[in-house]
Structure formats: C-alpha cells, structure tokens
C-alpha cells in the first residue's frame, strides 16, 4: 500500500484504534470478545453483525467431547481428509484445544441441541470416525451460534462495531501494519490507524458462479494481504460441497441452498437418475467418503447428462424432523416434499483451504497483523477440510490470536512520521456487475472441480485482460464522491479478480491431483509434491509469464513472526 508522510495534505478522516478486527463471523467476533478489556474496533461491511458465512453454516462444530472420542482420533480423521498436506502442529492445536473451546461455549450457555435427558446431541458427518458434531437448532447451527455471539459482542463495552464499513486496503510502513483504509457509509473514506490488526474476513466462495457462500464472501482480507506483500499458501485448494440444491435460483448471484452433510451422516443416500446408489461402487465409506471424492463423483455424472438426487426419505421417516428444519424449509420453498420426493443436488464452491500464511497463533509475515478463520492458512485443513472443522477453526484460532495480541506491546515509531493512505478516485459511470458475473462463470468452468492446463492458461489470460479493465476505474477521476455500494462492488470485484488469478496460477503449478485439487491431465497423486506452496504477489510478478514461483524452496523460509 502506498503511503505519504504527514507533511502532505490529509485526504480522509483519520481515527485511532487500539486493535482492529476486520470481519464479523465466528473467528472475528470470538477474537474480539477474547481481547476484552482491550479496546477493539470491529469492522464489518454488512449493515449488521448478521452477515458472513458463519450464519449460513448448517453443519455443526466438530470436537472430541464424546465419552468414547479423543483429540487424537479427531486429528487422525482431519489428517486423512487433508490428503498429506496438513501441518501436524496446527492439527494438534485444532483438535486438542477445540474440545476445550467447545466445552467452554457449552458452559457459557451456547444454544446447542440436547436430548430429553439434557445431554448434548452428537452427530456424524463424512470422513468422521465417530459422532462428534454438535449442532444448534438442528441444521441451523451457524445462525444460532452467530446470533448468540453477536449479542455478546454488542453487550461488550470494550468493542465498538463499525457497520457498513468496507475495508479497502491495508496500510503498511517498514514491514509493520499502520492501519486500514475503509469506506464507511455516510462518513466516506476513513483511515483507522492501529498497531494491531486482525483479518477475519472469511473466504472466497463468490469466485464461482455456483457457491453455497453468501454475497459477502469475496476474498477481501486475502486480496488486501496479497497486495500488501504478505505470504499466502495453498491457494489451489478450493473445496466444493457435494450437495447443494440444484434448482433455479431467484438470482444467479444468490448462493445455492446447502443440503447439509449431516443428512448423509444419518443415512441419506445419493442416487443417479436410474435409482442406482453409485457411491457404494466408488468408496468403502460410500456417501461418507471425503467431500472431494463425493463432489467429483456427482460432477462427473452431471456433465455426462445425468441427474443426481439425495434421498432423505428414510431419515425423515425416523422422526428426525426437528434435526433438519432448515433443509425442509429450503425444499418447501423449491416445491419439494423431501418426505416423499428426492432432492436434486449438485456441487458448489464451499470453502477455501488456501489463504494468508499463518502460524498456530495466527501471526503473519507482516508485523502487527494476525489472521484467523477461513482467510487464514495454518495448514490445519491440508488439501481438503474435514466437515465441521471450520466453525471450530474460528473458535480455536480466534482465541489464540487474542491471547497472542494481549501479550504484545504496541509498536512505537517516530510520531513526526504518520502514514496517510492515498485515496483512490472511482469512476461512477463504470459498473462492475457484468465483469463480476463473467469472472465467476469463468472460474466455475475453467478453475472448478476438474482442471487442466489448457483451461487454466485460458483463465489466466482472461484474468490479465480483466485486470486492465479494473485498473481503468481508479485512473479516471470522478467529479462526485462514490456511494458505499459503488465502492463495495468495485472493491469486491478487484479482490475477486486478484485472488481468482492467483488460484488459477497456483492450480497450474500443482501438476498432480490431491485433495480438493483435481487435474484431468495429472490425475494421480504425486508423493514428491506432498508440500505446501508459499508465495507472494512479487513472486508472480517477477516472472514475465506471471506463472512461476518457487514453492519447494519456500518451505524452509516460511518464518512467521510478530
């Protein structure tokens, strides 16, 4: 990020914060709560705290809280799903501390489902060896947990929430964070100065035309970190959920309704148009195989012209209606009675295992900047996230980020040198909508469930053309101040285009199939490529073709410190 010194005119409002948290999902809110009594400014681009992917999570929170379960067993399942790329220390943190965090939430009164005797109900999902999934409100866990956390945040005096605040850029000076440039509804451009910043902005699901993610999942934190020169990791690994409702949507930009994996944990089956249960032929765990295997099996049949259905009739016949109210409501809105009809399903982009490279305390390669939740890449998920480990990740690493920050002293610098960001000029006559739609369609078709060199190279060339079009909106000076909607739309396109380009580049460089990354021209797993890939934007730009970086050697250079 370009900065100017204090002897230049200030071109925006400057506010001072002790700690900034960007994002209002489970990771950001839990980190903010754990930072009390330190003063926290929590920024969210949505009009209230109810936005983000957390509220959409139908699945629950996985943790070894059952009598016959253990963190070691949970870790084993996590590593098996991760296809050889998990960082063992991060997995250990996730599974061992995960049980502590979940028990802590239970003791705090979190609204988890209980049986008639008052015991927490444990469910099972794909690739879990035991029942260890805790739910709230049946299949609306995210909604209930998010609402509960939001109320705690609002009632915490040390947390100041700034709503409708779009984070545009990280402001960096001498490898230390200075703060965040935002565009805030009614106030316009505001520079929030702070010595400590936490990115908890979620994932990049809106990169794809078919996604289960809400409209705000536009890779904002990841893109800001890339532009600021931070190390990122494993961007090629994008998980597609196997079972999203495959019906006409009211808007092509709206997320595809998720049909929770917990149904398959209770015995729901996948059938083709002839009524054949095909997953039994492909994997010993059938419908409970890892997500990447199930998603590709469905996708391959769909592109061959077949239709795939999820049969939950037997599940609902066992009086489990109260466990799946969200799915039944989704089906009712689509005109389906799941008690007597099967549900048409298709894979949709769901979770990004790649992200900003971070250690087990959420530290990044930039002093004063932490990251937690889906925006981070600690290696806990490897090449394919285990079901229901995402909400757990937000709790565990949100807590650890807060603990680490509480031990830090603010970075001191020469007060005569105050960083002030350069404010972009936006041309309100250019609209981002069509460019965004084209990018999402391109990504789903060329960089989706099945990839090959030809498609990836085509996508990269298209990204480079799009980057030139996006560049025009900052170079043309507007006579009027932009609206919040204009800034958000252009900012989100700018972020999606950058991250989409790097996802394609990383996918082209990984010449094998592993976890959620599948190459038709390299269909086999290569044991020699069981390494994580770290790079910066400079690594990409330093090559004339924009497609080369030395991921192997970087493994030993990935020092993260704060």
Catalytic residue among 34, 132, 264, 291: 291
The H or E element that residue 20 is part of is strand 19-22
Question: Could you confirm whether 291 is annotated as catalytic?
Answer: yes
Tokens (6 digits) for 151: 């109320």
Q: Sheet of 188-193: strands edge to edge?
A: 13-16, 188-193, 176-184, 165-173
Pairing of strands 309-311, 269-271: antiparallel
Q: SS3 letters for 355-411?
A: EEECCCCCECCCECEEECHHHEECCCCCCCCCCCCHHHHHHHHHHHHHHHHHCCCCC
Q: Residue 549: CB partners within 8 Å, gap ≥ 6?
A: 505, 509, 533, 535, 539, 540, 543
DSSP letters, 56-89, are G--S-EE---STT--HHHHHHHHHHHTTT---HH
End-to-end CA distance of the chain: 19
| Preceding amide of 37 cis, omega within 30 | yes
Q: Which of 357, 356, 372 is nearest to 405 (CA)?
A: 372
Q: How far apart are CA 192 and CA 464, in angstroms?
A: 32
CA quadruple 521, 205, 484, 431: dihedral sign: positive
* Beta strand extents in 131-280 (DSSP E only): 133-134, 159-162, 165-173, 176-184, 188-193, 196-199, 232-233, 238-245, 269-271
Tokens (6 digits) for 106: 């239970």
Exposure letters 468-501 (e unless 16+ CB within 10 A, then b): eebeebeeeeeeeebebebbbbbbbbbbbbbbbb
Enumerate the active-site residues.
Answer: 291
């Amino acid at each position: 990020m370009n900065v100017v010194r204090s002897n230049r005119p200030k071109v925006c409002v400057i506010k001072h914060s002790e700690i900034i948290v960007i994002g209002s999902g489970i990771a950001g809110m839990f980190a903010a709560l754990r930072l009390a009594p330190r003063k926290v400014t929590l920024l969210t681009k949505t009009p209230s705290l109810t936005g983000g992917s957390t509220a959409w999570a139908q699945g629950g929170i996985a943790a070894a809280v059952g009598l016959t379960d253990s963190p070691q067993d949970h870790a084993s399942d996590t590593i098996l799903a991760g296809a050889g790329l998990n960082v063992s220390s991060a997995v250990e943190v996730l599974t061992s501390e995960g049980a502590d965090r979940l028990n802590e939430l239970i003791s705090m009164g979190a609204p988890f489902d209980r049986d008639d005797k008052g015991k927490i109900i444990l469910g099972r999902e794909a690739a879990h060896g035991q029942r260890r999934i805790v739910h709230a409100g049946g299949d609306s866990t995210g909604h209930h947990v998010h609402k509960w956390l939001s109320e705690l945040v609002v009632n915490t005096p040390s947390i100041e929430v700034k709503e409708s605040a779009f984070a545009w850029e990280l402001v960096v000076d001498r490898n230390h964070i200075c703060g965040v440039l935002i565009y805030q509804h009614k106030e316009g451009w505001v520079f929030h100065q702070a010595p400590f910043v936490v990115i908890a902005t979620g994932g990049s699901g809106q990169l794809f035309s078919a996604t289960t993610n809400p409209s705000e999942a536009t890779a904002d934190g990841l893109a800001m970190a890339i532009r600021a020169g931070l190390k990122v990791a494993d961007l090629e690994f994008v998980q597609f959920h196997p079972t999203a409702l495959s019906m006409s949507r009211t808007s092509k930009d709206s997320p595809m309704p998720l049909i929770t994996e917990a149904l398959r944990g209770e015995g729901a089956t996948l059938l083709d148009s002839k009524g054949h249960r095909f997953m039994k032929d492909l994997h010993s765990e059938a419908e409970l195989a890892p997500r990447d295997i199930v998603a590709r099996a469905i996708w391959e049949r769909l592109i061959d012209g077949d239709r795939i259905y999820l049969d939950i009739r037997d599940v609902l016949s066992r009086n489990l209606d109260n466990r799946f109210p969200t799915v039944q409501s989704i089906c009712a809105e689509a005109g389906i009675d799941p008690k007597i009809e099967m549900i048409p399903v298709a894979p949709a982009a769901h979770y990004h295992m790649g992200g900003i490279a971070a250690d087990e305390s959420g530290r990044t390669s930039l002093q004063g900047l932490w990251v937690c939740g889906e925006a981070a890449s600690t290696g806990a998920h490897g090449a394919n996230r285990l079901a229901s480990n995402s909400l757990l990740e937000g709790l565990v690493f949100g807590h650890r980020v807060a603990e680490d920050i509480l031990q830090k002293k603010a970075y001191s610098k020469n007060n005569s040198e105050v960083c002030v960001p350069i404010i972009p000029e936006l041309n309100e006559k250019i609209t981002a909508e069509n460019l965004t739609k084209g990018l999402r369609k391109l990504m789903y078709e060329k960089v989706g469930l099945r990839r090959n060199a030809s498609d990836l190279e085509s996508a990269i060339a298209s990204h480079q053309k799009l980057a030139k079009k996006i560049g025009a909106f900052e170079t043309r000076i507007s006579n009027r101040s932009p609206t919040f909607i204009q800034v958000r739309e252009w900012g989100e396109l700018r972020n999606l285009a950058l991250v989409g380009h790097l996802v394609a580049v990383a996918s082209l460089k990984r010449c094998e199939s592993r976890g959620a990354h599948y190459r038709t021209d390299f269909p086999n797993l290569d044991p020699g490529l069981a390494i994580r890939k770290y790079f910066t934007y400079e690594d990409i730009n330093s090559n004339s073709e924009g497609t080369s970086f030395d991921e192997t050697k970087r493994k030993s250079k990935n020092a993260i410190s704060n």
